[in-house]
Amino acid sequence: MKRSIYGTILLLILSVNCTAQESNTIQVAVKPEVVNERLPLVEDRPIKNVIFIIGDGTGLVQLTSGQYKLVGAEGLLHLQTMPVTGIVKTYSSNGLITDSAAGATAYSCGVKTDNGKIAQLPDERECKTILELAEEKGLSTGIVSTSGVTHATPASYAAHVRARGMEEEIAVDYLEADMEVILGGGWEFFIPSGEEGSEREDNRNLINEFEEKGYEYVDSKMALESSESDKLLGLFSPGGMPSEDRTPTLAEMSSKAIEVLSQNEDGFFLMIEGSQIDWGGHGNDTEYVLREVKDFDAAIKRVLDFAVEDGETLVVLTADHETGGMAINSHYDRRDEVEIAWTTTGHTGVPVPLMAYGPHAIKFTGWQENTEVGIKVAELFGVGTLPQIIEE
Ligand SMILES: [Zn+2]
C-alpha cells in the first residue's frame, strides 16, 4: 500500500517535471504570414514627439524567443524593424544589477541612483524627469503600463519617492504631475481605505480628485475607446493587468494614448511599458514571457504606424534590465524547436538591446550608459538638459 502511494507520488513528480520541460520548449513558427520589412532611416528634423518604450526585464533572448514563436527564425517582429540598434549598460549606483526603479530613473532623469529610488538621487534629492520638462514646456504627456500605473517604471517619470513601495504617495504625486494620459492597472491605490480592494491607508478618493481636475476616469475597454476627453485616467484592474485575455491590450491603450496626446500641436512625450515580460522572467515562465512579448510587439506596431505617418516622432525602445538569465538552447538537433533555459529568478547584469526610429535615431547607435540615453532624448527633444537636481 505504502509503496504504491510512493509510486504515485513519484509518477506525479515525474509528470510535473515533464510538463515544466515541455512548456520551456518553443515551437518555431515556420513562415510568418506577413513579412515585416525593415524601416528606413528618416531625415533629421526637429523632433515634435517622443515615444519612449520600456520592455521591463526584456533582453535579447526574450525578444528572440518571441520572434521564433511568432514569425520564425527568418522573420522580424515589428520592434525588430526599427533601423537603429544600440546596446545599453544598465548598472545602478549601488549595484551591478539594477532594479526597475533605478533603471527607469536613469532614463527619466539621466542619473544613476540606488535600487528602489524613484526619480531621486541616493541622498534623496529629487531629479526632474523628461516628462516633467515636457509638461513644463506645454507639451502633452502620458504613461501607459500593463502593471499598476504606480509601479516602479511608470512612477520614475512622474513621481519622486525614496522607496518604490510607496505607491500611495506615487498616486498622489500623479495628481500634481498634470499628465494628460495615465493608463494601466492599479486602482487599488486610488480608492479610499475601507472600500473593497483598496490598498490605501487614508480616506482619499483619488479617482474623485482626478475627476475634479478635469480627467475622465474609465475602467473598461469600451469606456476607453468611446472617451473623447483630452485628459484621461484609465485603470482596468486592481493591481497589474491580467496577462491572459488582457482587456484592453497594450496596443489598445497605446493607440488611445497617442490619439489623445497627438491633439497637442506642440507635441507630446509618452512612456509605454510592457511591464510583465519581467514577471514572466521572475517566474521562469516561458509561456508568460511569450504572451507578453506578443502583446508588447502588437503595441509597437501601433506606435510605428503612427511614427511613420507622422515623420516628426522619435521612437526609442529599450529595457531597464534583463530578467531570468533567459537562454536559448538546442532541442535534440531539431530546427523547429528550441529549448529555453533560465539561470535565475532575479534580474541579471547583461546589457540590454535598444532600438530607435525617427529623426535623429542614429544618435542611439553603439554601446551607451542608460543615463546617456535619457540625456540624449531630452537634448534632441529640446525640453532641457538632464540631469536637473532640485536643491531644496
Ligand atoms: Zn523585475
Three-state SS letters, 68-114:
HHHHCCCCCCHHHHCCEEEEEECCECCECCCCHHHHHHHHHHCCCCC
Task: Count structural domains, the chain.
Answer: 1
Calculate mean pLDDT across residues 200-227: 98
CA 65 to ligand 1 center in whole angstroms:
18
Question: pLDDT value at position 144?
Answer: 98
Q: Which residues are catalytic?
A: 100
Q: Taking ligand 1, which is a single-atom ion, which protein residues have CB atoms under 5 Å away?
A: 278
How is residue 362 annotated by DSSP? G
What percent of the chain stands above pLDDT 70?
A: 93
Residue 198 is part of which domain span? Answer: 2-390
Q: How far is the CA of 321 from the centre of ligand 1 (A)?
A: 8
Longest Cα separation, the chain: 79
For residue 31, the model assigns a pLDDT of: 74
pLDDT in tens, 235-245: 999 999 999 99
Cα radius of gyration (the chain)? 21
Cell numbers describing residue 21: 520541460
How high does pLDDT run on average in the chain? Answer: 94
Give the count of beta carbons closer than 10 Å to the beta carbon of residue 46.
Answer: 11
Give the per-residue pLDDT at 22: 46
More confident residue, 19 or 328: 328
Helix (H) or strand (E) holding 290: helix 286-310
Centre of ligand 1 to C-alpha 264, Å, is 34
Measured distance CA(237)–CA(274) in Å, rounded: 16
> pLDDT tens digits, residue range 343-377?
999 999 999 999 999 999 999 999 999 999 999 99
Residue 80 near residue 74, CB atoms below 8 Å:
no
State yes or no: pLDDT of 19 exceeds 60: no
Enclosing H/E stretch for 185: strand 181-185
Task: Using alpha carbons, list the distances in angstroms from residue 157 to 52, 67, 290, 296.
Answer: 11, 29, 27, 20
For residue 294, give the H/E element and its range. Answer: helix 286-310
289 Cα: distance to centroid of ligand 1 (angstroms): 13
**Residue 335's domain is classified under what CATH number?**
3.40.720.10
Q: For residues 246-266, give the mean pLDDT.
A: 98
* Alpha-carbon gap, residue 158 to 179, rounded angstroms: 8
Does residue 46 surpass a pLDDT of 60?
Answer: yes
When pLDDT is averaged across residues 313-339 and rounded to a whole number, the result is 92
Rounded to the nearest whole angstrom, what is the distance from the C-alpha of residue 282 to the centroid of ligand 1? 7
Averaged pLDDT, 19-26: 64
Specify which residues 117 forms β-bridges with: none
